[in-house]
């Protein structure tokens, strides 16, 4: 059974992937919502815009403690998309993107409000099935983030260069197909999500290496597995 921090971490990843799926389904960039607010301040007040950088951080699960205003902003944006009148937009591309976009709705057709976005963020509400990320992708991404954080902490503790540390991890993983080697390298250095099939191998190798260089950093479940 996952601990509460792990559950919240997985929910944050899930929320980010859902937000990304919604944005891409509307053919939006991360700045489209902000651009719409700039073009139509009477519809979306500037203080209630979802800034491009903020959107990107939400998608990537980097907002650990979002402000209540974050969910108010998403609620305002979504409710504006539920209206037929979406303001006067001079830029052609922006106008097309806004006009063609669809809001996130409940099964009964009601648009999501601020409280719904918050419930989704903490894992208490799922979005529409066609936009909802698959569970195995969510789990793999959350685990990748945990393993990357553990790797970074152990590198700092050991004083090794990251490249040297990664080579040691890979040696402990044994003889792997090249695609798995590349996947583990990308997860450790670039933060890319591990394929579901590679998570267990990467976890075992990393835990073994951390046990050698900074054993006190091992999570409790890793110690239990060793015992």
Using DSSP's 3-state secondary structure scheme, residue 125 falls into coil
Q: What is the per-residue pLDDT across 95-108, written as a single tens digit (0 to 9) for each?
A: 999 999 999 999 99
Residue ranges with strand state E in the chain: none
Q: Which pLDDT value is given to residue 119?
A: 97
- Residues 89 and 39 sit within 8 Å (Cβ to Cβ): yes
User: What does the block give as tokens for 161?
Assistant: 């260069």
Helical H runs in 85-177? 92-100, 114-121, 135-158, 162-173
Q: Rounded mean pLDDT of the chain? A: 91
pTM of the predicted protein model: 0.66
| Sign of the C-alpha dihedral computed for residues 100, 101, 102 and 103 taken in this order | negative
Q: How confident is the model at residue 226 (pLDDT cuts 50, 70, 90)?
A: low
Q: What is the per-residue pLDDT across 114-145, written as a single tens digit (0 to 9) for each?
A: 999 999 999 999 999 999 988 787 788 888 98
Q: Which pLDDT value is given to residue 42?
A: 95
Q: Which pLDDT value is given to residue 137?
A: 77
Q: Which pLDDT value is given to residue 20?
A: 93
Q: Which pLDDT value is given to residue 104?
A: 98
Q: What is the per-residue pLDDT across 25-64, written as a single tens digit (0 to 9) for each?
A: 999 999 999 999 999 999 999 999 999 999 999 998 888 8
| Sign of the C-alpha dihedral computed for residues 13, 17, 23 and 24 taken in this order | positive
Task: Compute the distance between CA of residue 152 and CA of residue 187 in angstroms, rounded to an integer.
Answer: 11
- Residues 145 and 193 sit within 8 Å (Cβ to Cβ): no
| Higher-scoring residue by pLDDT: 143, 4 | 143
Q: What is the per-residue pLDDT across 69-83, written as a single tens digit (0 to 9) for each?
A: 999 999 999 999 999
Q: Which pLDDT value is given to residue 4?
A: 66
């Amino acid at each position: 059974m996952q601990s509460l921090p792990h559950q919240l971490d997985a929910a944050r990843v899930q929320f980010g992937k859902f937000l990304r799926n919604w944005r891409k389904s509307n053919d939006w960039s991360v700045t489209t919502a902000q651009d719409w607010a700039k073009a139509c301040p009477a519809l979306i007040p500037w203080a209630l815009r979802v800034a491009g950088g903020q959107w990107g951080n939400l998608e990537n699960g980097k907002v650990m403690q979002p402000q209540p205003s974050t969910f108010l902003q998403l609620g305002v944006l979504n409710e504006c998309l539920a209206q037929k009148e979406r303001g006067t937009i001079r830029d052609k591309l922006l106008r097309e993107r806004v006009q063609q976009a669809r809001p996130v709705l409940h099964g009964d057709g009601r648009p999501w409000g601020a409280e719904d976005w918050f419930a989704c963020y903490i894992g208490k509400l799922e979005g529409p099935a066609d936009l909802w990320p698959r569970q195995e992708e969510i789990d793999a991404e959350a685990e990748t983030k945990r393993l990357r954080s553990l790797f970074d902490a152990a590198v700092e503790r050991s004083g090794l260069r990251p490249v040297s540390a990664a080579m040691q991890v890979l040696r402990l993983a044994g003889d792997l197909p090249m695609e798995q080697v590349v996947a583990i390298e990308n997860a450790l250095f670039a933060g890319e999500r591990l394929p579901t099939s590679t998570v267990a191998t990467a976890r075992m190798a990393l835990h073994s290496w951390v046990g050698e260089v900074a054993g006190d950093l091992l999570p409790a479940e890793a110690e239990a597995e060793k015992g």
